[in-house]
Amino acid sequence: MARAGRAALDAGHRFGPGAAARAWGQRQHRGQLRSAHPGTRRRPHRRRARLPGLRCHAARHRAADAGRARDALVAEAVTAGVETFTLIGYSLGTAVAVRAAARHPERVRGLVLTAGLARADNRLRTSLHLWLRLLAQDDRRAFAEFVALTAFAPAMYESFTATELDPLLEDIAASVPPGAPEQAALALTVDTTADLPRITVPTLVIATTEDLLVSPANSRVLADAIPGAAYAELATGHLPMAERPAEWTELITEFLAKHEL
């Protein structure tokens, strides 16, 4: 039976370059983002919201688009017993979260959008075309090097020792998710610009100011276009969960608490 209540669902995707690097970051700080147990108001028990299909929707369907991902996300949440929820969107997942909020306002109670975009700018488009070519050539090592160079802030990348960097690159090369080319194609074509003014729920936009993959200017576009959106910045690259996990989590949990989400 579906239940109305408070929950925060991860709408991020294992999206193209950075997926393995992002997984690495999450291993460094596992369990930072958790959801409130539905229906609990006082000192809620914390748990991670797990909807197994959301992260690999594009990989499964191969011809995925933001609309199909949006509908799959909402359907899986309801099937899991959560009728209303806050969506925590990251990277391409911010576009899916925005589409879900615009299409299903009766379900989505709030949005958190980190390192996101409404549509790809020239820098991201060029990056996506480059890593599509690397994937087509099956040059996993070059792909991993490109991912690492764009996923981490320069200072973070320089902080790795030689003995840390090579295993990281090997991990990225070995962890390219199925469907990565299809997800890249989605990132090249997605455009939620028209949806942004229709968002009526509390929204927090978090810009990653040292992001070399998705420019922080894209987050400013989101914040300016969504009515009443709050805006915050983190001095990280594309992986705040790796570089400043505590600060990232604090921004989100304070926002959820402020709006009783």
DSSP string, 94-142: HHHHHHHHHH-TTTEEEEEEES--SB--HHHHHHHHHHHHHHHTT-HHH
Q: Specify the DSSP element, H or E, that contains 253.
A: helix 245-258
**Residue 34 confidence class, pLDDT cut points 50, 70, 90:** very low
Helix (H) or strand (E) segment spanning residue 73:
helix 66-79
Does the pLDDT value for residue 81 go beyond 60? yes
Distance CA 55, CA 40 (A): 26
pLDDT of residue 7: 65
Q: Does the structure show a pLDDT above 50 at 79?
A: yes
Model pLDDT, residue 178: 80
Q: State the average pLDDT for the chain.
A: 81
Which is more confidently placed, 157 or 18? 157
In three-state secondary structure terms, 59 is helix
**In the chain, % of residues over pLDDT 70:** 74
Evaluate whether 128 touches 186 at the Cβ level (below 8 Å). Answer: no
**Domain at 16-203+254-258: CATH architecture:** 3-Layer(aba) Sandwich (3.40)
Q: How confident is the model at residue 160 (pLDDT cuts 50, 70, 90)?
A: very high
Domain boundaries, the chain: 16-203+254-258
d(CA 25, CA 241): 6
d(CA 160, CA 164): 6
- Region of 91 on the Ramachandran plot (φ > 0 left; ψ -120 to 50 alpha; else beta): left
* Contact call for residues 202 and 51 (beta carbons, < 8 A): no
Lowest mean pLDDT among 34-48, 115-129, 155-169: 34-48
The predicted structure's pLDDT at residue 235: 98
Position 258 confidence tier, pLDDT thresholds 50, 70, 90: very high
Q: Is pLDDT at 9 greater than 70 in this prediction?
A: no
Model pLDDT, residue 250? 97
Per mean pLDDT, which range of 6-15, 31-40, 113-122, 211-220 is the poorest? 31-40
pLDDT at 161 over 90: yes
Task: Look at residues 103, 104, 91, 111 and name the one whose alpha carbon lies nearest to residue 183.
Answer: 91
Confidence at 60, pLDDT banded by 50, 70, 90: very low
Q: Is residue 61 packed enough to be buried (19+ CB in 10 Å), middle (13-18) or exposed (0-12)?
A: middle
Lowest mean pLDDT across 11-15, 53-57, 153-157: 53-57
Strands 85-90 and 8-10 turn out to be parallel
pLDDT 10s digits, 180-229: 888 888 899 999 999 999 999 999 999 999 999 999 999 999 999 999 99
Q: pTM for this one?
A: 0.82
Q: Which pLDDT band holds residue 158 (cuts at 50, 70, 90)?
A: very high
How many other C-beta atoms are found inside a 10 Å radius of the C-beta of residue 149?
14
